[in-house]
Amino acid sequence: MRCIAAFVLLHCASAFVAPTASTRRSHVQLHAAAVIEPAKDVPKLLEKQRATVDALKGVAPDFSEVALLRFALAFPTQSEAATALKETLAWRSGAGSEIVAKAGAAYKEAFATGKWNNDPVREGAPHAKTINQYITEKNILTMSTAEGDLVYVIRASLIDDTKMMRQVSVAQLTEFLLYVKEIHALVADARSARTGRLCTVVFANDISGISQIPDRKFSQALTQSSEQYEKLYPSLAGATMIMNLPFVLQAFVGLFTPLFPQSLQDRLKFVPAPYLGKLKDLTPLAGGASRKVFLGELKRLLKK
């Protein structure tokens, strides 16, 4: 069971594969995909949270209103939101400053031509030369829903974590994973501001083929970066879906939940994903009909 929990923490990583065409859709096209539900309606949420957002703006004047809104939504009081924001600012100007700078530069270069170019983002990641040998389109892919949420799919069993951790340290992999979070936040916040719909990141964790506990150092890096996810990027994470749980373990789903962080438990979904499960690896989902079929499967599963 802990093997399953450890691998699900891989929602901290991404292969930086270019988002689907929906990333480049216009404001009107994204709105046409679906009516914006109240819990995602940015203008209405800002109106409701105006006092807190304005107070937070005094703490972080360089943050966008969408970024501040995420803090306002994540905490029950203005004081708690302000405290969390101050801690985030301290990280961004201190220990995380290089990660933030790298991500910002890569994001800007990715859109330099007006069309997303994933190469600068992938190549600009900390320790990319080594880690990108193991994080590929075969095991992790990023894409987008028609509504605008980011989705990334993880086939953890195809990551040779033991071999990778012989070449990188826990600290180096943690930096890589935090860079991923920053990229996702930049994309999601910009899209939210453009479309008026609060975009989140949906995690599709396909555990097909998992048969052993992950490398100890690999687990440490996943845990360290995951612990900072809600703290540094509140209200960014959407549903976390554990897909294709082996039949013999399905009866123990109730025992899995306590193994996950409390902040993650309410978003957990244990679901079968037959189309995804039959794929040898994730490469077919890079585009075309296979991606369309999978996104349709995902949409149905999210409604359950």
Instruction: State pLDDT tens for residues 1-31.
Output: 445 555 554 544 444 544 433 344 434 344 4
Q: Is the dihedral of CA 275, 276, 277, 278 positive or negative?
A: positive
Check pLDDT > 50 for residue 48.
yes
Written as one letter, the residue type at 75 is F
d(CA 187, CA 56): 21
224 versus 172: the higher-pLDDT residue is 172
SS3 of 171, please?
A: helix
Least confident among 141-145, 154-158, 190-194, 218-222: 218-222
Query: What does the pLDDT read at residue 183?
Result: 96
Q: Is the dihedral of CA 243, 134, 97, 65 positive or negative?
A: negative
Q: Is the dihedral of CA 221, 109, 136, 297 positive or negative?
A: positive
Contacts of 236 (CB under 8 A, 6+ apart): 70, 181, 184, 185, 188, 200, 201, 229
Query: What does the pLDDT read at residue 25?
Result: 42
Across the range 63-69, mean pLDDT stands at 99
Q: Are 235 and 52 in contact (CB under 8 A)?
A: no
Could you tell me the pTM of the whole model? 0.87
CA-angle at 135, arms to 210 and 260, nearest 5°: 50
Query: What does the pLDDT read at residue 77?
Result: 98
Widest pairwise Cα distance in the chain: 53
Number of alpha carbons in the 13 Å side-chain half-sphere of residue 294: 26
Segment (H or E) for 160: none
Query: What does the pLDDT read at residue 39?
Result: 95
Q: Phi and psi at residue 252, in whole multiples of 5°?
A: -110, 15
Residues of the domain holding 20: 2-302
Among candidates 166, 165, 118, which has minimal Cα distance to 143?
A: 118
Segment (H or E) for 237: strand 237-243
Beta bridge partner(s), residue 154: 140, 205
Least confident among 54-58, 128-132, 154-158, 221-225: 221-225
Segment (H or E) for 271: strand 268-271
Pairing outcome for strands 237-243 and 268-271? parallel
Integer CA distances (angstroms), 66 to 25, 62, 233, 261, 288, in order:
19, 12, 12, 25, 32
| Counts for the chain of helices (H) and strands (E), in that order | 17, 5
d(CA 154, CA 252): 22
CA-angle at 255, arms to 251 and 256, nearest 5°: 100
d(CA 251, CA 255): 9
Query: What does the pLDDT read at residue 200?
Result: 97
Number of domains the chain is built from: 1
d(CA 257, CA 265): 6
d(CA 137, CA 91): 31
Written as one letter, the residue type at 128 is A
- Helical axes 170-195 vs 65-74, angle rounded to 10°: 110
CATH code for the domain of 214 = 3.40.525
